[in-house]
Structure 1
């Protein structure tokens, strides 16, 4: 079972939060797959990661560019395949309410959702219930004045 963390964004937008989390994965020698819902958002996030200032280097790729096995971070709108992420990632980032049928292929799942969007919060609660029923180890993190705060 995956270690499944829910990240409730209440103070900073995704474009500020995601690069820092991805930077931590890379600093630890890990690889990440980032799944989002819309191809247009994928293109925007691709551009944002290339111009990120914190951290200032986030090597990544997309299906349009190819060569998934060479990419430490893989941005996609598709779920992982039967063997897991095409880049061998053990960290899965779920954005924009996306889900995965292949959670067992990952050591850690990070589900980021916008706390200012009531529909996104309700959908995250439904994903929490489903992940709990599936037996995943769940954690809930919320942005606070001093950074991420783990909640009970």
Structure 2
């Protein structure tokens, strides 16, 4: 089973939260897949990672650039793992066929959006029932606070 962290965004959107989380992923020597709702969000996340001030360099790629095997962070709208990423970042309640194929899953959701909050609660209940190890993190002024 996967270790799943639910990340309740209350202060920023995923474009601002992802760079630091992905930076820590790369520092740990892991590869990541960022799963977006559509190609428009893929482009927005790609652009946000290029412009992120911290960390100053986040090597990543998309299907538009190709060569997924060379990319430590792969941004996609498809349920795929072409770079061998063991960490999965899910945005906007996108589906995933088998979370257990990843070592860790990060579910980022907008805590100011009632449908997103309800979807995260449904996913929590479903994945808890499947036996995944779940944690809940809330975005606060000083960073992430583990709440469950």
TM-score interval w.r.t. the shorter chain?
over 0.9
Q: How many residues align?
A: 148
The CA deviation string for residues 35-59 of structure 1, in whole angstroms up to 9 with x for no partner, is 0101111111111111111111011
In structure 2, the gaps of 5 or more residues are none
How far residue 2 of structure 1 moved from its aligned partner, in angstroms, is 0.2
What aligned pairs does 1:1-150 form with structure 2 within 5 A after superposition?
Answer: 1-80=1-80, 85-150=81-146
Equivalent position SS for 1:7 = strand
- Give the alignment's TM-score, normalised by structure 2: 0.96
- Give the alignment's TM-score, normalised by structure 1: 0.94
In structure 1, the gaps of 5 or more residues are none
The CA deviation string for residues 90-133 of structure 1, in whole angstroms up to 9 with x for no partner, is 10000011121121211000000000100100000011111111
The CA deviation string for residues 52-106 of structure 1, in whole angstroms up to 9 with x for no partner, is 11111011011121111000000000112xxxx1101110000011121121211
Root-mean-square deviation over aligned CA pairs = 0.9
Does the 8 Å CA contact 2:16/2:48 hold for their aligned counterparts? no
Query: 1:42 and 1:103 mapped to 2: Cα distance?
Result: 20
Query: 2:24 and 2:110 mapped to 1: Cα distance?
Result: 21
Kindly report structure 1 stretches of 4+ aligned residues shifted beyond 6 Å.
none
